[in-house]
Amino acid sequence: MARPPEIKKRISSGGVIFRIQKDGIDVVIVAVRGRKAWCLPKGIIDKDEDPPSAALREVREETGLTGEILDKIGRISYWYSLKNQTVKIHKTVHFYLMKYIEGNTDDHDHEVDEAGWFPVDEALRMLSYKSERDIMKKARDMIKEGLNIKS
């Protein structure tokens, strides 16, 4: 009889980094897995690192940009399998709203295929996963309403 899969927990952190342009809000998303998916920048929280610090570091590494955290947006979770279904991962990702400070998306690292600025509504159409679209919608509302933005 097949063994039940081993279950592991993984926690990542990431962000919606934005800037206000004359014609609206721009945000950054990244292309991954050979450009098959567009996602929010994120990554595993290191040992001795808290979720906001990991979010700032991952956004810096994957987008080339430095941001400042304004608030927490929320968290998502999903399941995926490794090694022919013998390991099941339960992933949680914390997301933060970040104001763009400096940097260039050409300086993204090799973990992503591309990092780019897009108008928020275009980014919403491009994002591959519903849970990340929900995070982006919440971020857009927070930016528009100026709610909880302590800057």
- To the nearest whole angstrom, how small is the minimum distance from the Cβ of residue 133 to ligand ATP? 9
Q: Which of 12, 98, 124, 140 binds ligand ATP (CB under 6 A)?
A: 12
Contacts 24+ apart (CB under 8 A), 74-80: 74/135, 74/138, 76/131, 76/132, 76/134, 76/135, 78/129, 78/131
Decide: is 74 part of the binding site for ligand ATP (CB under 6 A). Answer: no
The span from the CA of 28 to the CA of 10, in Å, is 24
Choose the stretch contacting ligand ATP; rule: CB under 6 A; options: 101-109, 112-120, 125-133, 139-147: 125-133
* Helix runs in 20-129, H state only: 51-63, 120-126
Which residues, numbered 43-72, are part of the site for ligand ATP (CB under 6 A)? 43-44
List residues binding ligand ATP (CB under 6 A).
Answer: 12, 42-44, 76, 78, 80, 91, 129, 131-132
